[in-house]
Structure 1
Amino acid sequence: MGGIGKTELALQYAIAQLEQEQYPGGFCWLRARDQEIATQIVSFAQTKLGITLPDGLDEKGQVDYSWGHWREGDVLVVLDDVTEFDAVEPYLPPSDPKFKVLLTTRLNLGSSVQSLSIEELDDESALALLETLVGPDRIYSQLEAAKTLCGWVGNLPLGLELLGRFLARKLDWSFEKLVERLESKKLTAKALIAKESGMTAQLGVASALELSWVELSEVEQELACLLGMFAIAPIPWHLVEECLFDQDNDDLEDLRDEGLRDRNLLKRVEESTYQLHQIVKEFFRIKLHERTDKGESLKTAYCRGIVGIEQGIDERPTIDVITEIKGCIPHLEELIRKWIDHLSDDDLILPFQGIGRYYEGQGNYGLALPWRQKCLVQAKKRFGTEHPDVATSLNNLALLHYNQGRYSEAKPLYDQALEMRQKLLGSEHPDVAQSLNNLALLFDRQGRYSEAEPLYVQALEMCQKLLGGEHPDVATSLNNLASLFDRQGRYSEAEPLYDQALEMCQKLLGNEHPDVAMCLNNLATLYYKQGRYSEAEPLYDRALEMRQKLLGGEHPDVATSLINLATVYESQGRYSEAEPLYDQALEMRQKLLGNEHPDVAVCLNSLAGLYESQGRYSEAEPLYVQTLEMCQKLLGNEHPDVAQSLNNLAFLYYTLERYSEAEPLYDQALEMRQKLLGNEHPDVAQSLNNLAKLYYIQGRYSKAKPLYVQSLEMLQKLLGNEHPNVARSLNNLAELYDIQGRYSKAKSLYEQSLNILQNLLGDEHPYTFKVQSNFDDCCKKIKELDT
């Protein structure tokens, strides 16, 4: 391309070779552009070599005679800036080994000519070139600005030389000032125009590119202008075809290859992918703005083609979609940055939505946030404060805050979106159902179950009415309502909804889809809570495998699956299998979500529980404390997760015999759970059981017994008679009877507990072994009494 330094490189090569006396036959420099090559050759032969030409020779004969009577020794012949090879080929030296011919050209001369394609400088070399012109002191005192200058001209040698010589004259100019001037004036800045003696190039950057521009046909120039609208990034060629969908693809390829690529204005970087040099892009944009005739139609075509990228990015993009769409994202972002005013009203928020889903789909919420915010600003600017697209922008931003665990920021945005949609779209509309569902999700996550349930029900009924009985949104609503029932301990109500959602997703979306993985995971969680570990584990395995395949190795949903599978392992006493999964999930969530997020707190809590199960109490305590503080900070002082953290820390203190520290935490957890979850919930039963156990170990049996009984009855009612937690509750009450000498009652409860555990966990589980020991000891005591 123009300005890459071909002439300077040829000159420096020639000088170096002459200094080493590699060409005793001489060095002949010929200017090929707009010059008579024959006249230059004959003139050189006469004036430099003293050759006398015979009379009567035509032009070609004079050239041939000159080559034939050249001095002895190897000769270097340089033809600089060849624009038409056919015009110079007849006058090239004969096929004599002594003649070495070097051409500089923007043309692709084909495989018959040995060629060296000159690329732009690398970053280090670009700085070094600039340093030779302005001196090391100015470079290293303003290093970052110097790098910015190099980047602005894309490390183009001509641009760097022009900038360097300009700065050498302008000693009072800072590099930052020159960057600002370039940003405002682009290629028309004086620093890229002015030339000095001593420079090989006699043209400014734009003038150098103009030489190639004028050689392009009208349709090639139009294609160049369109390409100039793209970002400085590799351009997947199918995007160009989508922008110019009304043109023949084969014709487009010819314009690309024969018009732009052969003149080195466009570079092929990989299969079906091309890229413009930054300076060339700026030049093409200038030409676009000069085209008052077709400029607007090209902008419309570009916007129409690029905005179509959004349609390929769904709400839960798989890793295949992410990989396929990755190369298009810079151009979608460029559409927003540079061409937003040319988007139609209908298309305005689509590129923002596509970029948001692209980053959120990978768990990169921090990268998604500015685009969600910009979308809301642009929608309000274009449509005012009340418009369906404004409501959609509010909803999307709220959802992002929700995913980041920033619930207090999400709530007012959800409220605004719901109110606006109801006002603009009516009380029954799919978007209204979406808002109801999202607000319910927020309440659900905050432990406000009584507020979440009616919204879930309303959203489900609306989706079924508007979208029919079988639709992905209906499946989502069923799944969400089931999850609420699950968290409330209403397992018999949750299971049929989970089954229905899973069946619907598999039917509508196929067996390999992120939503199917979500349904499998949720159903497995229900089985786990019911103590159905043998049913939960294979579903967790399938969900994890599917998520890794569809979403990649690092994704929030993958972290969730790792934690859940680890929880099953831990419950079965498979601690060595559980720990690496917990560690992996924690590292992944911290990387994706940051250190301050409710889901990170869940990881810390789970890892602390594993340490506690292994007797690693000194490692467990700081994690429990950290979890509690994080939950209180992120979720407020009254939340189910806070109650769980209080309970877990209290249980650790109980284990360490720090009873005075454990009791107030147990009391606080029980009171919070009863307030938030109602008087009948598995978590309330757990708190009653734990407080009773504390009373028991302190010998306060009269206070322990009614709590044990209440906890057992509640668990049997909520979970059924076959559940590990029921077995634990039976064992605890049995231990109380045992220590009171009521052995026959204790034996009966031990036996019930043991039967449940043997069926669910097997004989080798640590807790089964413990209950077996209690049962054997009790039987021994009864036998001794009988004796």
Structure 2
Amino acid sequence: MSTKLETSDSKAQMAMPNGKPLLLNVSMKMVFLPQRGKISKCRQSKIKNKLYKLFMQWANFLAKEAATHSLSLKQTAAFIKYFKTENLGKSEAKLASELNVDVAAFRKWMSEVYDKFAQNYPELAISNSRGKLKKLQAYLSAKHHSELDVLKPLAAMKLLKSLVVRERLQQEPWVARRICKFLGYLPLALELVGRYLDKMPDLSLETLLNQLEKKRLEHEAVVNGNSLMDYESGLAEAFELSWEQLDENAQGFGCLLSLCALTDIPLSVETREDDKKQQLNQKAIGDLLELHLLQRESKEIYRLNPLIRQLFQMKLDKSSEADEAKTKFAAMMLEVAKLIPQQPTPEDILNLTPHIPHITEVATHLSQYLGDKNLITLFTKLAWFYQGQGLYQQAEPWLQQCVELTQNHLGLEHSDVVANLNNLAGLYESTGRYSEAEPLYQQALELRKRLLGDNHLDVATSLNNLARIYESTGRYSQAEPLLEQVLELRKRLLGGEHTDVATSLSYLALLYESTGRYSEAEPLYQQALELWKRLVGEEHPHVATTLNNLAALYCYTGRYSEAEPLLEQALELRKRLLGEEHIDVGTSLNNLAQLYESTGRFSKAELLYQQALELSKRLLGDNHPDVAISMNNLAALYRNTRRYRKAKPLFEKALKICERILGVSHPTTMTVRANYASFLKEAYH
């Protein structure tokens, strides 16, 4: 696991083809039942309305599942398209053409969708490849049915009895049964009515039923059968009674929450400086919970039922404050997004993950309530969140959209356009798509030269970025003069005593090392090391990184006795400065293990490889390229010590992660694939 040097591009920033996110299309084609005898127009209308509502419920359910499982925009589009009611039975080729993508891309997205569901539901993971999507369809149908399950009449009465004082129901038993029927025996509607009755102890059941029936007549006169408000379960009517129990503040708070994504909502009101506002929000949450319009999942974590969310949204859209509320919510999510650093730590990721679906909701559905500059910031921060975890496929559409938006808003001749070109190119570089990264880096370089002239630090950064592409693709003769030019430019503009100069020395040393010119690389590493020590002191992570790189050079030249103390020093320095739970510590463990393996100390190497693997899993999760590299290295040790049964599953997992995260053509993926193929040849032939 080699250590990557940081670039010095302070403007490096971090989206969807054509600059537009794929919005969820939940429109439905109308399906008519075959007629058997004459059906009145009124009856036909009711049938169509009921079918429409069933389709809408299914579409909303799919949208919620997509958000809950953190599907990317492309994955969500494929998921919704595949499982929409009217598309069942269509070929993959037909569905792909409707999304304007090729079949291979569509299949890839659906495979990724299945994998995400299988992570949470192990029973899906054991399916054979042919029956995977059918099994997912069955799972989704069963879950949807359970969420909207209609109770038997007796079960509905039992639920109502658990919510309302028994004596109260016994006074009007037949009315209680009529209320259950009016509510379509739907548990959610019964919950709302039960909570409402609990707040109105003197209200008779007969009066309640009259109120519900009156609400239905009002809705039928207004909504024309075009929404959930006239759904036959009586849910809308039950919601309306609860809505009228809320004060204006709680109503507004519920409407604001309805703008959140269909997933857990982190709510903390204790951090507000305004005590009065804090008290109002606390009361609003309490009122919503009391009426069962909001569910508390755990401490400071809440959730809206999808149907309640839609009813709140309909209230909001009818109000004169809709635009103001949406602007406010978008601004709130922007402020949260601004907390995402370019290189998020595991702690950052843990703290920010609950907010990401809601930030994404703004980016995809409320983007018109943010100015272009703020929208670019939002896209950038989302990309940083995913890219910092190695989730490049999820970061890419946001980066693409940043480029498109900046070019449209600022024109082609602007420094912010350069920054976004660099960021997108950097992602392509990270995933081994060098042919896509190179023209973007070249475009950024030429643009910077025109805007800033040849003698500018940002031009040096662009030269450095382009040189990295040349080096990664084996064009060392093209990379070398660029790196030398960068070093000379930085020395001239910054002087010899600068951190950027130290970075340039290290990059040039890496190139010399890659071309076998170890005697030329070594003094550059040593110069960089001394420079870092003078500039930042001996107790600094950059010093540890340079020690690590110099030690790697010694290993390449067989000078293990010189490399070992440097690797040990780098490891101890990182533990002391960064703490033992840091990914750079994992890198040092891995590198020291490689040295032990190279010198035949296999038991020591195995222990460090295992520690590195467990650490990377804890910090990065099970699906990260660094985890795959650790698996590959441990598997290689098992192979070298002829423990083939231990090696095989690690190679397989490592290859699967690399192919899914980095793509099949990335150099790391190809290295792991070659190692696995070599292992199979040795172990089974």
TM range (shorter): 0.5 to 0.7
Query: Matches of 1:220 and 1:471 in 2, distance apart?
Result: 57
**CA-to-partner distance for each residue in 1:408-450, whole Å, 9 max, x for gaps?**
2211121122223433455566654443332222223233344
**CA-to-partner distance for each residue in 1:569-596, whole Å, 9 max, x for gaps?**
12322134436767987998998578xx
Preserved contact between residue 249 and residue 280 of structure 2 (Cα < 8 Å) = no
The reply on whether 1:261 has 2:404 as its aligned counterpart is: no
**Alpha-carbon distance change, 585 to 15 in structure 1, aligned in 2, over 3 angstroms:** closer
The reply on whether 1:497 has 2:522 as its aligned counterpart is: no
Residues 159-558 of structure 1: pairs in structure 2 closer than 5 A:
190=226, 192-194=228-230, 201=233, 203-205=234-236, 207-238=237-268, 248-292=276-320, 294-424=321-451, 427=454, 431-456=458-483, 458-459=485-486, 476-477=503-504, 479-487=506-514, 488-489=517-518, 490=520, 491-501=522-532, 504=535, 518-529=545-556, 531=559, 532-539=562-569, 541-542=571-572
Deviation at 1:316, TM superposition (A): 2.2
- Stretches of structure 1 that go unaligned for 5 or more consecutive residues are 18-22, 34-77, 93-100, 106-157, 163-186, 654-787
* Residue number in structure 2 paired with 1:27: 170
* Structure possessing the higher relative contact order (Cα contacts under 8 Å, 6 or more residues apart): 2
**CA-to-partner distance for each residue in 1:156-209, whole Å, 9 max, x for gaps?**
xx9xxx9xxxxxxxxxxxxxxxxxxxxxxxx9865735565xxxx5x353x432
* Residue number in structure 1 paired with 2:157: 12
**Alpha-carbon distance change, 424 to 592 in structure 1, aligned in 2, over 3 angstroms:** farther
Preserved contact between residue 32 and residue 80 of structure 1 (Cα < 8 Å) = no
Q: Which moved more, 1:217-226 or 1:408-417?
A: 217-226
Query: Matches of 1:248 and 1:422 in 2, distance apart?
Result: 54
**Alpha-carbon distance change, 299 to 516 in structure 1, aligned in 2, over 3 angstroms:** farther
**Alpha-carbon distance change, 304 to 550 in structure 1, aligned in 2, over 3 angstroms:** farther
**Alpha-carbon distance change, 286 to 379 in structure 1, aligned in 2, over 3 angstroms:** farther
Deviation at 1:498, TM superposition (A): 3.3
Query: Matches of 1:522 and 1:79 in 2, distance apart?
Result: 64
Secondary structure of 1:274's counterpart equals strand
**Alpha-carbon distance change, 576 to 430 in structure 1, aligned in 2, over 3 angstroms:** same
Deviation at 1:263, TM superposition (A): 2.5
Query: Matches of 2:149 and 2:508 in 1, distance apart?
Result: 63
Calculate percent identity across the aligned residue pairs.
Answer: 32
* Residue number in structure 2 paired with 1:131: none
Equivalent AA in structure 2 for residue 12 of structure 1? M
Deviation at 1:452, TM superposition (A): 3.0
Larger-gyration structure (1/2): 1
**Alpha-carbon distance change, 473 to 267 in structure 1, aligned in 2, over 3 angstroms:** farther
**CA-to-partner distance for each residue in 1:762-782, whole Å, 9 max, x for gaps?**
xxxxxxxxxxxxxxxxxxxxx
Query: Matches of 1:542 and 1:462 in 2, distance apart?
Result: 35
Residues 716-755 of structure 1: pairs in structure 2 closer than 5 A:
none
Query: Matches of 2:297 and 2:346 in 1, distance apart?
Result: 23
Deviation at 1:295, TM superposition (A): 2.8
Query: Matches of 1:274 and 1:245 in 2, distance apart?
Result: 22
Deviation at 1:494, TM superposition (A): 1.7
Preserved contact between residue 480 and residue 508 of structure 2 (Cα < 8 Å) = yes
**Alpha-carbon distance change, 241 to 14 in structure 1, aligned in 2, over 3 angstroms:** closer
**Alpha-carbon distance change, 223 to 603 in structure 1, aligned in 2, over 3 angstroms:** closer
Equivalent AA in structure 2 for residue 223 of structure 1? F
**CA-to-partner distance for each residue in 1:685-737, whole Å, 9 max, x for gaps?**
xxxxxxxxxxxxxxxxxxxxxxxxxxxxxxxxxxxxxxxxxxxxxxxxxxxxx
**Alpha-carbon distance change, 263 to 592 in structure 1, aligned in 2, over 3 angstroms:** closer
Secondary structure of 2:171's counterpart equals strand
**Alpha-carbon distance change, 29 to 288 in structure 1, aligned in 2, over 3 angstroms:** same
Deviation at 1:558, TM superposition (A): 7.4
Query: Matches of 1:349 and 1:79 in 2, distance apart?
Result: 41
Preserved contact between residue 564 and residue 595 of structure 2 (Cα < 8 Å) = no
Deviation at 1:253, TM superposition (A): 3.1
Preserved contact between residue 449 and residue 459 of structure 2 (Cα < 8 Å) = yes
Query: Matches of 1:28 and 1:523 in 2, distance apart?
Result: 87
Preserved contact between residue 333 and residue 359 of structure 2 (Cα < 8 Å) = yes
Preserved contact between residue 250 and residue 287 of structure 2 (Cα < 8 Å) = yes
* Residue number in structure 1 paired with 2:125: none
Query: Matches of 2:311 and 2:581 in 1, distance apart?
Result: 40
Query: Matches of 1:191 and 1:481 in 2, distance apart?
Result: 65
* Residue number in structure 2 paired with 1:678: none
Preserved contact between residue 363 and residue 375 of structure 2 (Cα < 8 Å) = no
Equivalent AA in structure 2 for residue 217 of structure 1? D
**CA-to-partner distance for each residue in 1:55-93, whole Å, 9 max, x for gaps?**
xxxxxxxxxxxxxxxxxxxxxxx996464757526x99x
Query: Matches of 2:496 and 2:257 in 1, distance apart?
Result: 47
Residues 516-665 of structure 1: pairs in structure 2 closer than 5 A:
518-529=545-556, 531=559, 532-539=562-569, 541-542=571-572, 561=588, 563-578=590-605
Query: Matches of 1:86 and 1:24 in 2, distance apart?
Result: 16
Deviation at 1:404, TM superposition (A): 1.2
Two-structure CA RMSD over aligned residues (Å): 5.5
Secondary structure of 2:389's counterpart equals coil
**Alpha-carbon distance change, 462 to 258 in structure 1, aligned in 2, over 3 angstroms:** farther
Deviation at 1:492, TM superposition (A): 1.1
Secondary structure of 1:355's counterpart equals helix
Secondary structure of 1:88's counterpart equals coil
Secondary structure of 1:371's counterpart equals helix
**Alpha-carbon distance change, 248 to 591 in structure 1, aligned in 2, over 3 angstroms:** same
Preserved contact between residue 267 and residue 302 of structure 2 (Cα < 8 Å) = yes
- Stretches of structure 2 that go unaligned for 5 or more consecutive residues are 1-147, 177-190, 217-222
Deviation at 1:407, TM superposition (A): 1.4
Preserved contact between residue 32 and residue 79 of structure 1 (Cα < 8 Å) = no
Query: Matches of 2:630 and 2:196 in 1, distance apart?
Result: 68
* Residue number in structure 2 paired with 1:740: none
**Alpha-carbon distance change, 280 to 590 in structure 1, aligned in 2, over 3 angstroms:** closer
Query: Matches of 1:309 and 1:354 in 2, distance apart?
Result: 10
Deviation at 1:568, TM superposition (A): 0.7
Deviation at 1:472, TM superposition (A): 7.0
**Alpha-carbon distance change, 26 to 319 in structure 1, aligned in 2, over 3 angstroms:** closer
Query: Matches of 2:580 and 2:503 in 1, distance apart?
Result: 19
Preserved contact between residue 590 and residue 609 of structure 2 (Cα < 8 Å) = yes
Secondary structure of 2:366's counterpart equals helix
Preserved contact between residue 606 and residue 634 of structure 2 (Cα < 8 Å) = no
Secondary structure of 2:373's counterpart equals coil
Secondary structure of 1:316's counterpart equals coil
Deviation at 1:358, TM superposition (A): 1.6
**Alpha-carbon distance change, 225 to 610 in structure 1, aligned in 2, over 3 angstroms:** closer
Preserved contact between residue 196 and residue 291 of structure 2 (Cα < 8 Å) = no
